[in-house]
Structure 1
């Protein structure tokens, strides 16, 4: 991946867009939306593999992740809305200028899929397809160990509220995150509705109004987004045309077994499968 551009964000923050060119006129362009606490650079091998398949891809660090600054703190607090309205919207604008006339899609990994769904439900972005990879709802009823998951998510929200941020960079999950985002995420895990705080109003977006093709990929060995979790997110997109797939490392293909993260570093033939679906969906 290469540096594409720097973004100045509302409120004085900044982030960087990286990516890889691929294809030409009429070929798909993807904005890849990262998982919670995962820097854009992590997806380099997958992005390069998509470029080899003729799919151009852009990835921006979400606020406070990777090279983005400032980091979350008691003073620098934000929720899902800022990620969707500021960073994703700005990256879409970059894609529109850089790849004018080419069809545009989102690929959302984990938390990034949730952000992508929010953006599609609240913005006229022209994005024409959505791929969800290991992306589900944290709602506790979608997991095998339900009560354990419920307790963990609510503890995370409580710690973020007391400390002023979630210190995931020290505790091994999710990176450093703002308390508002963790409050929204913990509610999502507790109640199943993805309520977004925006301009003093808290409401779940109209996910049912999202009308486009969606590929929902459940990954092998993925305890963070099992099929029940994926279903609970995709069921919100009641107006979309959804295809479900299960992804595992093909027999005989070199590389580690798939799980919630390894596909991005060792995509193998998976990148070609995603590129083929995008071409068909955007045709």
Structure 2
């Protein structure tokens, strides 16, 4: 466990499980909105059993991280990428010096992973996107409903000074700026990141690494159209698509947007095998 001090007086903690040895991959796992790092414990342990060490930190205001998002404590995608992701990758590279590093992003975490890789080219040698797509409304079956929902979230966040997802059942407590960027992403399809006095979409076409894009069974939050819209931004990457479901005869509840992290079954073995293959050949 490693404590991290964040700009502005905040803090978070990096936790993980050792696995593998020299030459084996190390994963930095990036959570979904409102999901604490500890939620991924079963999946992290399953990866370790396959020889893959994994580190994960709570995003600002989630899990053990403090302070919570508020009108005074506001930030967006850039801060999550530059502060938390960069620091966690640094811990991984120091703790497991010489071993190849990959990012694994779940849902929103996949979007942040892409932002980070577009601005920190040497951060990782591979990327896994699990149930991670673009919130762009045209990628969903019920398009108008999705558009209305995402813009309503942004309106509530603007009025309250933060998004109270911990009370409303979606995304946890989130800062106003991040929700504004996310809602604009849902409305327009481009991920405009605000940083300092500037704003623009990172150069995702500069990401030139192997990518595994996993669509999950029973996942209404990231359907295939949503995943396709996100991955389409990675024009130079070597993208492999897979569909994950619970194999017949395997114990555990059916896969969906969240279940895989608590009941990974053979899914962790599939991810570990892919990582070992691409990181030993790149």
Alignment gaps of 5+ in structure 2: none
Q: How does 1:216-227 map to 2 (within 5 A)?
A: 216-227=213-224
Q: Deviations over 1:171-214 (max 9, x none)?
A: 00000000000000000000000000011101000001100000
The 1-side partners of 2:90 and 2:106 are apart by 20
What's the secondary structure of 1:64's corresponding residue? coil
Alignment length (residue pairs) = 280
Corresponding residue number in structure 1 for 2:242: 245
**8 A contact 2:121–2:207 mirrored in 1:** no
The 2-side partners of 1:92 and 1:264 are apart by 21
The 2-side partners of 1:15 and 1:47 are apart by 18
Corresponding residue number in structure 2 for 1:102: 99
Corresponding residue number in structure 1 for 2:19: 22
Corresponding residue number in structure 2 for 1:145: 142
How much does 1:123 deviate?
A: 1.1
**8 A contact 2:29–2:105 mirrored in 1:** yes
The 2-side partners of 1:263 and 1:125 are apart by 29
How much does 1:139 deviate?
A: 0.1
1:279 aligns with 2:259: no
Give the alignment's TM-score, normalised by structure 1. Answer: 0.98
Q: How does 1:32-51 map to 2 (within 5 A)?
A: 32-51=29-48
How much does 1:126 deviate?
A: 3.5
What's the secondary structure of 2:45's corresponding residue? helix
1:31 aligns with one of 28, 52, 67: 28
How much does 1:11 deviate?
A: 1.0
Alignment gaps of 5+ in structure 1: none
Q: How does 1:180-219 map to 2 (within 5 A)?
A: 180-219=177-216
Corresponding residue number in structure 1 for 2:133: 136
**8 A contact 2:25–2:99 mirrored in 1:** yes
Corresponding residue number in structure 2 for 1:165: 162
The 1-side partners of 2:111 and 2:179 are apart by 13
The 1-side partners of 2:78 and 2:158 are apart by 18
The 1-side partners of 2:127 and 2:275 are apart by 9
**8 A contact 1:195–1:205 mirrored in 2:** yes
Corresponding residue number in structure 2 for 1:259: 256
**8 A contact 1:188–1:194 mirrored in 2:** yes
The 2-side partners of 1:125 and 1:170 are apart by 38
What's the secondary structure of 1:181's corresponding residue? helix
**8 A contact 1:92–1:125 mirrored in 2:** no
What's the secondary structure of 2:15's corresponding residue? strand
1:268 aligns with 2:278: no
- Cα RMSD of the aligned pairs, angstroms, is 0.5
